């Protein structure tokens, strides 16, 4: 017989959840708005402190300040790190056209940054309240790290994320679940390349043989890059942005190419990197300059990640809920922690759809069920 459904007390907190979410969404937080980010950090710090979290704030010069909040646990020395970010992809002013709203009929809450991932932060706060109400301490305590630059690659927070992960037993990432509710046990790694081709300009009519065309080399390079795809290994290589040329009668001196690379395995990242750097130009007068590389390692579906997922699935099973685990294309800060070998489970935040899209929304009831799961996971030694 299934045990009592712990999502009932979570669902009872629906008004609280929506109040938190509305306040967080009302504070717009584009990654590169330092002042706006700091206002959000003020609001979160106050909310967490009221709930009894010990809050430490780390100043950041170019983005909003980072918050690290802790709750004591049952005395074990290593607990859970919950990873979240408060920045969104939406510029200040988005709310005017895309206000926060709750649609009771569909049980959804809409607005910029609801799903990705202010609802994940609200869910974590609620999960801690559920544990406090039940008088059940988290195993080894909880550290909630809320960063401010995930959407642009976490350049200002990666070191901190990795340092915190090393001190914890496991990492629970409260990014959204997949559209269908699946948790994320693996994510592709992301590499960006920025390629510059330097040719020799010449008058296309008077001195056609004096020039060396960066644009012609770019054409060869684009097709070569596409040939590096390996679908069996789940590797994709896409040239996505190209710029070249100046005047129609001048052999092209300069061409630029941006390339998006996604890999599920580190050895695939190395294969693609080697191939790009070893590319031989047709015209020896043209020079290729390669910048960029791997900025998020893949979150491989390691045995440690899968074991953590199985634990979540078993827990949910005790109250009759089913959980799926998936490997997805997009990266998150969980990529960094998983690459360190720390068991990482991602997608534990909100259920919904439309991250980075106009119809971004959270499914309220489903998300509250996940709050119950998160609370239960935090009590697991
Ligand atoms: Zn996110």
Domain ranges in the chain are 7-187+299-378, 189-296
Q: Do the Cβ atoms of 193 and 293 come closer than 8 Å?
A: yes
Q: How far is the CA of 340 from the centre of ligand 1 (A)?
A: 20
Q: What's residue 5's pLDDT?
A: 74
Measuring CA to CA, how many Å separate 251 from each of 191, 208, 247, 312, 333? 31, 8, 8, 60, 44
Euclidean distance between CA atoms 354 and 372, whole angstroms:
23
pLDDT in tens, 8-46: 899 999 999 999 999 999 999 999 999 999 999 999 999
pLDDT for residue 168: 97
The yes or no reply on domain 7-187+299-378 and CATH 3.40.630.10 is: yes
Res 48 pLDDT > 70: yes
- Joined tokens for residue 105: 């009929």
Residue 95 has pLDDT above 80, yes or no: yes
Q: Above 80 in pLDDT, residue 304?
A: yes
Section 85-111 average pLDDT:
97
Q: Is the pLDDT confidence value at 2 over 60?
A: no
19 Cα–ligand 1 center, Å? 21
Q: How far from 274 is each of 32, 224, 228, 258, CA to CA, in Å?
A: 33, 13, 11, 17
| Ligand 1 centroid – CA 212 distance (Å) | 44
- DSSP string computed for 260-308: EEEESSHHHHHHHHHHHHTPPPSSTT-EEEEEEEEEE--B---HHHHHH
139-176 pLDDT, tens digit per residue, is 999 999 999 999 988 989 999 999 999 999 999 999 99
**283: CA distance to ligand 1 center in Å?**
43
Q: Is the full-model pTM beyond 0.75?
A: yes
Residue 233 alpha carbon to ligand 1 centre in Å = 25
Share of the chain above pLDDT 70, in %: 99
Tokens matching residue 341 = 């070998």
Ligand 1 center to residue 332 CA distance, Å?
7
| pLDDT exceeds cutoff 80 at 343 | yes
Q: Give 183-204 pLDDT, tens digit per residue.
A: 999 999 999 999 999 999 999 9
Cα(31) to centroid(ligand 1), Å? 11
Residue 1: per-residue pLDDT: 44
Stretch 116-137: mean pLDDT: 96
Residue range 305-326, pLDDT digits in tens: 999 999 999 999 998 899 999 9
Give the Å distance between the CA of 206 and the centre of ligand 1. Answer: 55
- Residue 116 Cα to ligand 1 middle (Å): 5
Considering the domain 189-296 in this protein, what is its CATH number? 3.30.70.360
CA 164 to centroid of ligand 1, rounded, Å: 19
What tokens appear for 201 in the block? Answer: 């300009």
| Predicted local distance difference test score (pLDDT) of residue 3 | 57
Distance of CA 36 from the midpoint of ligand 1 (Å):
18
Asked whether this chain's domains 7-187+299-378 and 189-296 adopt the same fold, the reply is no
- State mean pLDDT over 88-112: 96
pLDDT of residue 381: 87
Task: Tell me the per-residue pLDDT of 269-293, one tens digit each, with 9 for 90 and over.
Answer: 999 999 999 999 999 999 999 999 9
Confidence band, pLDDT 50/70/90 cuts, at residue 330? confident
Q: How far is the CA of 173 from the centre of ligand 1 (A)?
A: 9
Span from the CA of 380 to the centroid of ligand 1 (angstroms): 25
Residues 6+ apart with CB under 8 A from 32: 62, 63, 152
Q: How far is the CA of 279 from the centre of ligand 1 (A)?
A: 35
Mean confidence (pLDDT) of the chain: 95
Q: Which pLDDT score is estimated for 339? A: 94
CA of 89 to the centre of ligand 1 (A): 9
* CA–centroid distance, residue 289 to ligand 1 (Å): 32
Ligand 1 centre distance from Cα of residue 275 (Å): 31
Residue 250 DSSP class: B
CA-nearest of 376, 374, 375, 379 to 177 is: 374
């Amino acid at each position: 017989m299934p045990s009592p459904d712990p999502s009932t007390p979570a669902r009872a907190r629906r008004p609280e959840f929506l109040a938190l979410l509305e306040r967080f969404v009302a504070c717009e937080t584009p990654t590169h708005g330092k002042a706006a980010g700091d206002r959000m950090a003020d609001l979160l710090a106050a909310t967490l402190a009221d709930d009894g979290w010990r809050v430490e704030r780390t100043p950041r010069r170019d983005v909003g300040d980072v918050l690290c909040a802790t709750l004591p646990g049952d005395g074990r020395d290593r607990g859970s790190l919950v990873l979240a970010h408060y920045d969104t992809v939406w510029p200040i002013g988005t709310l005017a056209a895309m206000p926060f709203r709750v649609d009771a009929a569909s049980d959804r809450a809409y607005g910029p940054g609801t799903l990705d991932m202010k609802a994940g932060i609200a869910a974590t706060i609620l999960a801690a309240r559920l544990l406090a109400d039940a008088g059940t301490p988290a195993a080894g305590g909880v550290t909630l790290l809320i960063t401010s630059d995930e959407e642009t690659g976490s350049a200002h927070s990666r070191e901190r994320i990795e340092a915190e992960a090393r001190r914890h037993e496991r990492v629970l990432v409260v990014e959204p679940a997949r559209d269908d509710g699946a948790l994320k046990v693996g994510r592709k790694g992301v590499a960006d390349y920025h390629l510059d081709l330097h040719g020799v300009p010449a008058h296309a009519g008077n001195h056609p043989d004096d020039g060396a065309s960066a644009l012609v080399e770019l054409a060869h390079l684009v097709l070569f890059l596409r040939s590096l795809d390996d679908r069996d290994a789940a590797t994709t290589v896409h040239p996505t942005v190209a710029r070249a040329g100046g005047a129609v009668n001048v052999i092209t001196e300069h061409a630029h190419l941006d390339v998006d690379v996604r890999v599920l395995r580190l050895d695939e990242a190395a294969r693609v990197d080697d191939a790009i750097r070893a590319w031989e130009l047709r015209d020896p007068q043209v020079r290729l300059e390669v910048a960029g590389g791997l900025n998020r390692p893949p979150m491989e579906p390691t045995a440690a990640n899968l074991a953590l997922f199985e634990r979540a699935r078993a827990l949910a099973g005790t109250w009759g809920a089913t959980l799926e685990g998936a490997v997805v294309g997009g990266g998150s800060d969980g990529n960094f922690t998983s690459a360190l070998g720390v068991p990482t489970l991602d997608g534990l935040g909100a259920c919904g759809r439309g991250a980075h899209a106009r119809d971004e929304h959270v499914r309220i009831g489903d998300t509250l069920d996940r709050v119950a799961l998160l609370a239960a996971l935090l009590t697991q030694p």
